[in-house]
Structure 1
Amino acid sequence: MTTQQASETTSSPRMTSRQATVLVVLLASQFLMAADFSILNVALPRVGVDLGFSAGGLQWIVTSFALCAAGCTLVFGRVGDYLGRRRIFIVGMLILAVASVIGGLAGTPALLLVARTLQGLATAAVTPAALALLTTTFTEPGLRAKALGLNGVMMSSGFSVGAVLGGVLTDALSWRWAFFINIPVAILAVIVVLLVVPESKADNAGRIDLPGAVLITLGLFCGIYGVTQAAENGADLVSVAAMVLSAVLLAGFWAVESRTRDALVPVRILRMPDVAFSNMSALFIFGGETALIFFTGLYVQNVLGFTPLMAGLVLLGIGIGQILGGIVGPHIIKKIPPRTLLGLSLMGQGAFMLPILVMPATPSWILAVVATQFVNAVFSMLAMLAFMVIATSAVDSDQQGMATGMATQSQQVGIAIGIPLMSAVFTAVIGAEAAGAAQLPGIHTAILVDGLLLTAAGLALLFVLRRTAKAKEDAQTLRAGGV
């Protein structure tokens, strides 16, 4: 966002009734996707018992979803630019409905993993399409920041409601309702979108870059799989081979994109500092926050001895903090440049992880945990908003599917690798067999590493993005002066 654009946000026009209708529908879809993610996480232990998952196999309920969501998001985002973002959104919602039927009726681990894989594909389609429809509907900087802030609010609300609802449904009915509840909502979303949301796609659609799509999807799939396996089993032959293959495939992707006219992601876009560094920041924002949520769950349930439902209620502190961050974020971004806000928020997100390091295995500390998580979540949401504004403002409207696809893919990659990486730290400290309060040193160490990485990333981004922004302004000044 340029200085001129930032100043324009102080006098944003009012939202039209059509824009408001589109906003409500798209935010509802984001709420559903976020709730769907957290509602099943709370139910995982019961799912494992009912379907006979092994202790090692249980993590694949999460990993199969994350692999597809992270690996396919960019492709779906770019296909939406060509074929229509509304069309891709509808396809994704229909896939979600089918996946939910399969998951709710699953009687074997294999069938459940099929459902989770399809849910990952649905997320890869729906999330960037919804974001692209938002950013093309709200082109004025102030309204776009407001829409993206509300998008963050709804995703956070979905996470919070899903965490609590997962505990309630699992205890009162069955974990299968974590799937069944999606079916009527997805069908209703398709009907409403067909009625009120206009189609949106690039004006000059070229051919779809199939070689690039295959290379980036397989490259990310192998990379995430390798990191996950290495975190779980150590750097064995399989995990190292997967990561080496990932590097080769991603290098091939770069080479193909450099020579393809209708590239999935033009290399000139990847070289833009705002695009590159903001998407890199998403790995830290989402990976760090996901790992914190995971270890908070361990602390609350395994160390303090609370039930899954109580753990879900504790996580409301994170959801409420992110809701507040999403509400105040558009006002803050009018006063603080997005690049500066991104660096400062990452530092705040990391810093407010560290107080957990002094919390003992005493239930009376639960309110302190909630308060710390609340403040951390406010900074987390501010970082998410700043990242999304920077990432989508760097490209024009024809490439919003690509921009939101890249942004969503960065989020999903961060979510996919955050827990495995910090779990490797956790296991290295206490071993794989520790239980109860014996897990506390591992939790402390993992959160320490997580917080320090986020703080260091914030400092680095604050320096790099501000420096590149100054260089760009200096170049514009020179051109304006005819030099």
Structure 2
Amino acid sequence: MSAPRGVLIPLASAQFICSFAGSNMNVMINDISVDLDTTVQGVQVAITVFLLVMAALMIPGGKLTERYGRKRCFLAGLLLYGIGALLSAVAPGLGVLILGYSILQGIGTALLIPPVYILTTLLFTDTASRAKAFGVVMAMGGLGAAAGPLIGGLITTALSWRSAFLFQATVVLLIVVLGRRIDDPLPPDPSKPFDITGAVLSAVGLTLIVLGIQSADNNIRLMVASVALGAAVLACFVLSIRAKERAGREPLIATSMFTDRVADLGLVTQLTQWMLLMGTSFVVAAYLQVVRGYNAIETGVIFTAATLGLLATSLAAARLARRHPQRTLIRAGFVVSVLGIVVLLALAGRSLNPWAFAPGLLLIGLGLGLMLTPSVTVVQSSFTEEEQGEISGLSRSVSNLGSSLGTALTGTILVAGLTGRAYAAAMITLAGIGLLGFLAATFLPDRTITDPP
């Protein structure tokens, strides 16, 4: 079965706008904090909560697609996302911004992103076309994250930060129109059970851990208590899904999702990749605006280097995957990204010229573009069509958890000092994360996408 012509456009565009929402806020830090009478930390909280809501609800979102249908969840998520964007555009204060952006857009994203990956897997059935389709989707996702600062900076400078949310609502409307041509290849199963207990435990556990990390600069005891409590809740979640499986009931996510060594390693690389991408985006954008005093458009233009690098390697993903093993591409991506961080520290830290950031950002973009698609292909291809709902939710949850952890961890380090020294500490932390991802990638199998698993 071949995918209908043009079906990839709304799917890839949805991934683009959700990734854009996570990074374009970074260049609006000063504008939003002044307009809404809040602080840099307040804006960081809004960004982190948005990413955290996505991470916490992505697994339940993937599970709901089986019960209500992939296309229906996709369109419902778009509607909720659009409402959140409009509410954010008229927000009178930080609380309403968090409701519209962090909560409603976060929930909408958790509903619509799993169907993107499930439908891509189901509609593109042969390995080559599926790799190409994932290459497009991941390229648009990476492009949205990398180009978010540039597009957001242009809109904020020319109009206002509120117009950036109107832009998102407009794009969502276009996706809804284009998405009408999508046909769900599998019928929904209304009798499919939904593990409410598991959904609550997983969401609460992840939330406590990320918010605990974010509180490190204010209260170390609170951080330790929150992270420990979050770990305990996640342990209860694991015990809960095991008990349900032993009783013959269907849990939120099967434990078999964690028994495939290759998929587990692929998920680790996804986690670290998105920690690198969103952590770098927040730290560099905040440093440029708060420490260097650049405005939104100046900050966005500097990020063009990362956008171009990521776009170049992402678009070549399918061709590279046919010529090189996935492990090679992922390892090379981490090496290039870490090298980019080293260049950022070496050049940007010693020069007042804003373009000193360009070489490092370019390398980071090139590295991330190299490895985003292979990591997703490794994970998705490790499971059957019947398991795509669960693994898509888990995969996207891990990626968004990486985004929220990257923003919370490095943002906490930076906001604690807001100096060149804090910037260096945050970037060194990201380099360490990149090395962990490289280590995980070394244990992946050495095969290309045309080789049998």
Q: TM-score, normalization: structure 2?
A: 0.90
Matched, 1:175 2:161: yes
| 1:245 equivalent in structure 2 | 229
For residues 458 and 72 of structure 1, do their structure 2 counterparts lie closer, same or farther at Cα, with a shift above 3 Å needed? same
| 1:372 equivalent in structure 2 | 360
Q: SS at the partner of 2:122? A: helix
Q: 1:214 aligns with which of 200, 205, 217?
A: 200
Q: 2:278 aligns with which of 290, 296, 310?
A: 290
In the alignment, is the contact (CA less than 8 A) between 1:304 and 1:361 conserved in 2? no
| 1:9 equivalent in structure 2 | none
Tell me the amino acid that sits aligned with residue 110 of structure 2: A
Matched, 1:42 2:27: yes
Matched, 1:332 2:332: no
Worse-superposed segment, 415-424 or 325-334: 415-424
Matched, 1:440 2:425: no
Tell me the amino acid that sits aligned with residue 152 of structure 1: M
Partner Cα separation in structure 2 for residue 299 and residue 44 of structure 1: 11
Q: SS at the partner of 1:53? A: coil
Partner Cα separation in structure 1 for residue 365 and residue 427 of structure 2: 15
Partner Cα separation in structure 2 for residue 367 and residue 168 of structure 1: 18
Q: 1:85 aligns with which of 70, 74, 87?
A: 70
| 2:14 equivalent in structure 1 | 29
Partner Cα separation in structure 1 for residue 89 and residue 411 of structure 2: 29
Partner Cα separation in structure 2 for residue 175 and residue 91 of structure 1: 26
In the alignment, is the contact (CA less than 8 A) between 2:80 and 2:105 conserved in 1? yes
Tell me the amino acid that sits aligned with residue 85 of structure 1: R
| 2:444 equivalent in structure 1 | 465
In the alignment, is the contact (CA less than 8 A) between 1:202 and 1:397 conserved in 2? no
Deviation readout 1:221-270 (Å, 9 max, x if unpaired)? 2221112222x324223x33322221122112111222323122111221
Residue 426 (structure 1) shift: 4.4
Partner Cα separation in structure 2 for residue 23 and residue 226 of structure 1: 38
Tell me the amino acid that sits aligned with residue 335 of structure 1: R
Residue 161 (structure 1) shift: 4.2
1:334-413 to 2 correspondences below 5 Å: 334-359=322-347, 360-364=349-353, 366-413=354-401
Partner Cα separation in structure 2 for residue 286 and residue 255 of structure 1: 28
Tell me the amino acid that sits aligned with residue 269 of structure 2: S
Structure 2: gaps of 5 or more residues:
none
1:224-239 to 2 correspondences below 5 Å: 224-230=210-216, 232-237=217-222, 239=223
For residues 60 and 304 of structure 1, do their structure 2 counterparts lie closer, same or farther at Cα, with a shift above 3 Å needed? closer
1:296-307 to 2 correspondences below 5 Å: 296-302=284-290, 304-307=292-295
| 2:91 equivalent in structure 1 | 106
In the alignment, is the contact (CA less than 8 A) between 1:202 and 1:399 conserved in 2? no
Matched, 1:274 2:262: yes
In the alignment, is the contact (CA less than 8 A) between 2:30 and 2:290 conserved in 1? no
Partner Cα separation in structure 2 for residue 367 and residue 51 of structure 1: 31
For residues 160 and 267 of structure 1, do their structure 2 counterparts lie closer, same or farther at Cα, with a shift above 3 Å needed? closer
Matched, 1:95 2:80: yes
In the alignment, is the contact (CA less than 8 A) between 2:150 and 2:301 conserved in 1? yes
Deviation readout 1:427-471 (Å, 9 max, x if unpaired)? 6xxx63x5xxxx223222322232133124313430x3249x9xx
For residues 56 and 159 of structure 1, do their structure 2 counterparts lie closer, same or farther at Cα, with a shift above 3 Å needed? closer
In the alignment, is the contact (CA less than 8 A) between 1:282 and 1:410 conserved in 2? yes
In the alignment, is the contact (CA less than 8 A) between 2:25 and 2:47 conserved in 1? no
Larger Rg over CA atoms: 1
Partner Cα separation in structure 2 for residue 393 and residue 263 of structure 1: 22
Residue 170 (structure 1) shift: 1.9
Tell me the amino acid that sits aligned with residue 189 of structure 1: I
Worse-superposed segment, 345-354 or 319-328: 345-354
Deviation readout 1:199-220 (Å, 9 max, x if unpaired)? 2447877312222222111211
Worse-superposed segment, 315-324 or 175-184: 175-184
Tell me the amino acid that sits aligned with residue 351 of structure 2: T
For residues 349 and 128 of structure 1, do their structure 2 counterparts lie closer, same or farther at Cα, with a shift above 3 Å needed? same
Q: 1:139 aligns with which of 122, 125, 135?
A: 125
| 1:5 equivalent in structure 2 | none
Q: Could you say what the CA RMSD is over the residues aligned between the two structures, in angstroms?
A: 2.4
Residue 114 (structure 1) shift: 0.8
Partner Cα separation in structure 2 for residue 140 and residue 308 of structure 1: 43
Q: TM-score, normalization: structure 1?
A: 0.85
Residue 160 (structure 1) shift: 4.4
Partner Cα separation in structure 2 for residue 140 and residue 188 of structure 1: 29
Deviation readout 1:378-413 (Å, 9 max, x if unpaired)? 211222111100110111112212212111111111
For residues 98 and 299 of structure 1, do their structure 2 counterparts lie closer, same or farther at Cα, with a shift above 3 Å needed? closer
Q: 1:125 aligns with which of 111, 135, 138?
A: 111
Structure 1: gaps of 5 or more residues:
1-14, 477-483
The number of residue pairs the alignment matches comes to 442
| 1:73 equivalent in structure 2 | 58
Q: SS at the partner of 1:106? A: coil
Q: SS at the partner of 2:220? A: coil
Tell me the amino acid that sits aligned with residue 420 of structure 1: A
Q: 2:242 aligns with which of 258, 267, 270?
A: 258
In the alignment, is the contact (CA less than 8 A) between 2:204 and 2:230 conserved in 1? yes
| 1:12 equivalent in structure 2 | none
In the alignment, is the contact (CA less than 8 A) between 1:80 and 1:201 conserved in 2? no
For residues 236 and 61 of structure 1, do their structure 2 counterparts lie closer, same or farther at Cα, with a shift above 3 Å needed? same
Residue 87 (structure 1) shift: 0.8
Q: SS at the partner of 1:199? A: coil
Partner Cα separation in structure 2 for residue 105 and residue 465 of structure 1: 47
Worse-superposed segment, 55-64 or 84-93: 55-64
Q: SS at the partner of 1:21? A: coil
Q: 2:145 aligns with which of 130, 151, 159?
A: 159
